[in-house]
Every structure is written in C-alpha cells, then in structure tokens.
Amino acid sequence: MLRNLGALAAAAFVVAGGAAYGGSWDERVFPPGAHVDFDAVAAAGPSALPALIDRGRVLFKAKFTTVDGAGRPKATQAIVPTRRKAGVNPPFTRTSGPDSNSCFGCHNDPVEGGSGDDVANAFVSEGFESAQFDTVDPSFSSERHTIALMGAGLVELLAREMTADLQAIRAAAVKEACQSGKAVRADLVSKGVRFGWIEAHPDGIVDLDSVDGVDADLIVRPFSRKGVFTSLRQFTINALNVHHGMEAVERFGARWTGTHDFAESGVPDAITAGDVSALVAFQATLPPPAVKTGLPGDWRAAAAEGEKQFDAIGCPSCHVKTLPLKSLVFTDPAPYDMAGTLRSGEVEAPIVIDLSVLPFAKTLQKNDQGAWLIPLMSDLKRHLVVDEQVNALGNELQAQRFVERDVFLTPRLWGVGSTAPYGHIGAFRMLDEIIAAHGGDARFSRDQYLALDPDKRDAVVAFLRALAIEAPR
C-alpha cells in the first residue's frame, strides 16, 4: 500500500528538524511520511489504486505551503531546470508564476478537473529557457485558457496508440527501402487521421518534409492548446513547477541538477515519483464528458438537426467524432517520454490502471473490431487556423517547441458546452463567435457555417451545448 499513507489520519508526526506536526489542523499537505512511494504502489497492484486516486484528488486540490516546498525563489518556470539569472522570485507572480496555490485554483469549472474562468489563464513561455518575464506582452509569453481534464486518460491512450502506428509505418518503410534498394513513400495514417507522408531511402534516411500536424519524431502529443506535451506525467511535472514551485525529484532532483533543492525553496525533494503518479492517476481516471440527458424536446430536436449540419459542413474533418481505442489499460510511466520525466526503463514495474473497470467504461460503445469508440471530437492533430482575412486566432507571437504561431491542436469538443469562454486564449464568449473565427485550414468549413440559415447555425450551437461536463464522478 502507499507508504505511511494510512497514518495520515493520526494526530502527531515529528518533522525532521524537530518542529512538531500540530495535528489535523496543520496547514501542510505533506506531513512526514505522507509522500507516495512509487515502487510500493506498483508492487501492490490494483488494490492500491483507489487510495492512489484519492490521494491524487487531494493533491490536485491541495494548497501547497512553504513547509511543503512551495515557491521557487531561484528557479524559472522553464521545462528544463533553469535558474533565474538574477534576483529572487516572489512567492506568487501572476505572469511567470508561481501563479496559483493549487491545480484546482484553475481547473475547477464546472467541477474539479475542469476548465477555468479567464481569470485563471496561464502565461506560457516558449518552454525551454527564456521563462523569466514580468509582463503580459505577447512577445514574452502566450496567454492560454485552462483545458478541462475530463477523459484525459483516454486521450493519452489514443495518442500512444497513434504514435505506435506512425512509428511502425516509418520502420516498415525504412526496412522496405533498405531491402529493395529503392525509395519508399508511405502515408502516415492512424485511426483514419492522415499526418502527411514520408519517403524512406535505401541508406536509411527518411525525408520528413511532408509530415503534417505532428512532430518529426512522429510522437502524437495530445496535451496543451498547441499539442506539444506527450503525457499527463510530463505535463503534471511542468505544472507543479510552473504554477506552484513544487519540484519533482525525477526532473529537478540530484540526478539531473546535482542538488536536492534546485529552486532553493528550503525543502529538499518536494515531490516524489509516487506523488506525481497520484496526480496522474486522478487525472487519467476522470470520466469523459457526456451528452446531456433530460433535455427539453425542442433542444433535442435542434441538437439532432445541428449534428446533421455539423457533419455536412465538414467540422468532423478535424473534430472527428470518435476515435477507436484498442486497449483501456493505462500504464504509468508512459512509453514516449524523454529524460526528466520518469520512464518505463527506470522503474522495476509500472503502475497499471485498467480504465475498463471504471463505471464510465460502460458508457463507451465499441466498433465491430472490438475497439472502444472514444467520442472526443478531435483528431489529435495540429492545424493552421489563421489566414489573411480570418485572423482572430492569430494573436500569439511566439512559436512553441518548433510549432508555428498560428497552428493549434484540434481541441476536443466533448465537453465544450461547459467550458465557455472559447479559443486558446478564451477570448470568445459564444460558440458562434469561435466558429466564425476559424481561418486557415478550417476556412472552408467555417465559410459554409456562416452561409447557413440562422436557425441552422443555431442548431449547431444546440448540438455543441449538449456536450457537457456533468457532475463529478
């Protein structure tokens, strides 16, 4: 079981250094012994999962304190551990962070794990190193609206399967080119989504110029507005540092930085691998949004008409209604993370979370090949959404991780009826406004939408408004 977690309810702990732990009124999130031990959880198997998920919920809502290690006086929000060039970060800074006391501080609309109001927008730097800024000027960071995490485990599993497909296509093309001595062109298609094509040459070189909507390493990255993060685990470690100044050992600890307190918060090794896993388990098991039930008859009729229009005008070419998922078994750590996020080779055994035993699995349909149909309404692919005439989504000035400024991941629409305002910055108060703002590769579809009769446009809104995040699990 979780190391010492059962003792959380006990009244008295002794902090290293001698200060007494007051008891149940104590403000800290991590009384002595309250960190989760990854190996112990992995070894315990399914019986440990309910406690792990509960602990994840607690950590998601926890208000991290100074004695937990919150704050990063000497570290920036950068993904790669980076020290401030000069000076000391104050406890909170609205721009480059720490900007919030808990994950829940932003992800709370309409329930825990959800989206957030615009006041909870985050200012995201290009990511690697230039992460120290004290202005909201878009030359230094991109303002982003909080993304709801409902169904996030299913989303990550889809991306993992797509990555495996694309990388297998590449491997097969290289093999064929080597064996035949001729260049081989291969289309990159997974789950019906086309990511352009590659050409493999007999010398093993692969021409990647025509790869589309995914990174050149063919890893489908389903997280963030930009689609540049691979796993819940990677994102969680980033978020803990950016928003709260809570540094995970697996990235900021002695192995990579040579110190146990890189941020100089005064607390060594603030977040263990097991703590990250608890947060991941909570997020990965959040139920997906669902179509609202019990709607009045006129709304139901309008939504049915709206779905027809949505299909007819090409919205599903990006907002694909369902993607098939072969397996609901979520393993942590994830298969495609890079150094600085715990990797499967670094643990004795992974934590295995079988999502098919959760109540929400019963609501998922299957196709005739036995794959689960995940109704996320996204292709998990990046698209250009800005052109010369329609450029309301072209506000960002920074490329992020080599993805151009005006290119964004297709957002999942499965909970869109609950997460106004819309768009990557949350600048659109109404669905009609964000639909009209689609330019670039979505222009053809948006123009057809604008050409519809007003009642048909309104029906599309009725359809989208019925896709909702309802009560917590």
Interaction site with ligand HEC (CB under 6 A) = 99-100, 103, 105-107, 120-122, 124, 144-147, 149, 152, 223-226, 232, 235-236, 239-240, 243, 279, 283, 310, 313-315, 317-319, 383, 385, 393, 408, 410-411, 413, 416, 419, 422-424, 431, 434-435, 438, 441-442, 445-446, 449, 460, 464
* Token couple for 404: 């151009």
Whether 71 and 263 have beta carbons less than 8 Å apart is answered as yes
In angstroms, what is the minimal distance from the CB of 438 to ligand HEC?
A: 5
Whether 324 and 371 have beta carbons less than 8 Å apart is answered as yes
Q: Quick one: 421 exposed, middle or buried, by C-beta within 10 A (0-12, 13-18, 19+)?
A: middle
* Token couple for 338: 């890079």
Which residue type, as a one-letter code, is found at position 463?
A: F
Other CB atoms within 10 A of residue 6 CB: 11
C-alpha–C-alpha distance, residues 127 and 78, integer Å: 5
In angstroms, what is the minimal distance from the CB of 295 to ligand HEC?
A: 18
Compare residues 200 and 309 and give the one whose CB is closer to ligand HEC. Answer: 309
Other CB atoms within 10 A of residue 411 CB: 23
In angstroms, what is the minimal distance from the CB of 12 to ligand HEC?
A: 29
Instruction: Identify the sign of the CA torsion 240, 242, 248, 250.
Output: positive
Compare residues 195 and 449 and give the one whose CB is closer to ligand HEC. Answer: 449
Compare residues 114 and 253 and give the one whose CB is closer to ligand HEC. Answer: 114
Compare residues 186 and 290 and give the one whose CB is closer to ligand HEC. Answer: 290
In angstroms, what is the minimal distance from the CB of 424 to ligand HEC?
A: 4
Compare residues 147 and 468 and give the one whose CB is closer to ligand HEC. Answer: 147
Whether 395 and 428 have beta carbons less than 8 Å apart is answered as no
Placement of tokens 């995970």 in the chain: 248
In angstroms, what is the minimal distance from the CB of 229 to ligand HEC?
A: 7
Compare residues 41 and 407 and give the one whose CB is closer to ligand HEC. Answer: 407
CA angle centred on 243, ends 275 and 35, rounded to 5°:
15
C-alpha–C-alpha distance, residues 226 and 127, integer Å: 12
* Token couple for 288: 């997906």
In angstroms, what is the minimal distance from the CB of 56 to ligand HEC?
A: 9
Compare residues 186 and 277 and give the one whose CB is closer to ligand HEC. Answer: 277
In angstroms, what is the minimal distance from the CB of 5 to ligand HEC?
A: 19
In angstroms, what is the minimal distance from the CB of 462 to ligand HEC?
A: 12
C-alpha–C-alpha distance, residues 95 and 7, integer Å: 38
In angstroms, what is the minimal distance from the CB of 301 to ligand HEC?
A: 18
Compare residues 170 and 400 and give the one whose CB is closer to ligand HEC. Answer: 400
Compare residues 224 and 272 and give the one whose CB is closer to ligand HEC. Answer: 224
* Token couple for 265: 């918060």
In angstroms, what is the minimal distance from the CB of 283 to ligand HEC?
A: 6
* Token couple for 378: 């996204």
C-alpha–C-alpha distance, residues 139 and 142, integer Å: 8
Q: What are phi and psi of 45, to 5 degrees?
A: 75, -160
Annotate 210-233 with b (16+ C-beta within 10 A) or e (fewer). ebebbbeebbbbbbbbbbbbbbbb
Compare residues 140 and 310 and give the one whose CB is closer to ligand HEC. Answer: 310
